[in-house]
């Protein structure tokens, strides 16, 4: 298939496919007149790239998944290098969640303090209840 068809079937643009190509992730063949041609395996590779990008992976993180697919595996996440990337990314997400939890607790405490201060100020300006 030509680049336009691959882009359409993968739900992306020809420019994006060329970008992936410059980063060594997509490998087109060439016709005698220089047109890029792709086989079905490249469609699977592009789907893998797009799904990993969608969850925050960078192009360097994606390389082992593409290599795993090119090695003939049905899934890009079964090879040792892919598993290592998944473990590292999971550790990054866990760390981020821990930091977010800390920020959430601080915001909650600050809000509780602000509400208490406001209620105290309101009681002082109103005077004692009768």
Question: Span 28-40, mean pLDDT?
Answer: 93
| Average of per-residue pLDDT values in the chain | 94
Q: What is the pLDDT of residues 77-127, one digit of tens each?
A: 999 999 999 999 999 999 999 999 999 999 999 999 999 998 888 888 776
Q: What is the pLDDT of residues 64-73, one digit of tens each?
A: 999 999 999 9
Whether residue 26 contacts residue 10, with contact meaning beta carbons closer than 8 Å, is answered with: no
53 closest CA partner among 45, 63, 62, 44: 62
Q: What is the DSSP string of 70-110?
A: HTT-SSTTSSHHHHHHHHHHHHHHHHHHHHHHHHHHHHHHH
Whether residue 69 contacts residue 76, with contact meaning beta carbons closer than 8 Å, is answered with: yes
CA distance 26 to 24: 6
The architecture in CATH of the region 3-126 reads Orthogonal Bundle (1.10)
Tokens representing 41 are: 């395996």
3-state secondary structure of 30: strand
| pTM (two decimals) | 0.80
The yes-or-no verdict on residue 42 having pLDDT over 60 is: yes
Pairing outcome for strands 29-30 and 36-37: antiparallel
Query: Given this model, what pLDDT does residue 127 score?
Result: 62
10 closest CA partner among 24, 25, 22: 25
Q: For the chain, what are the domain ranges?
A: 3-126
């Amino acid at each position: 298939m030509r680049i336009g068809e691959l882009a359409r079937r993968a739900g992306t643009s020809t420019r994006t496919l060329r970008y992936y190509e410059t980063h060594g992730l997509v490998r087109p063949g060439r016709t005698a007149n220089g047109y890029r041609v792709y086989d079905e395996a490249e469609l699977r590779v592009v789907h893998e790239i797009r799904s990993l990008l969608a969850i925050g992976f960078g192009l360097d993180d994606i390389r082992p998944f593409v290599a795993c697919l090119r090695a003939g595996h049905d899934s890009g996440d079964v090879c040792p290098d892919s598993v290592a990337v998944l473990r590292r990314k999971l550790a990054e997400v866990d760390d981020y969640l821990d930091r977010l939890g800390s920020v959430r607790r601080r915001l909650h405490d600050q809000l509780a303090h602000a509400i208490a201060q406001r209620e105290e100020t309101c009681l002082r300006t109103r005077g004692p209840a009768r």
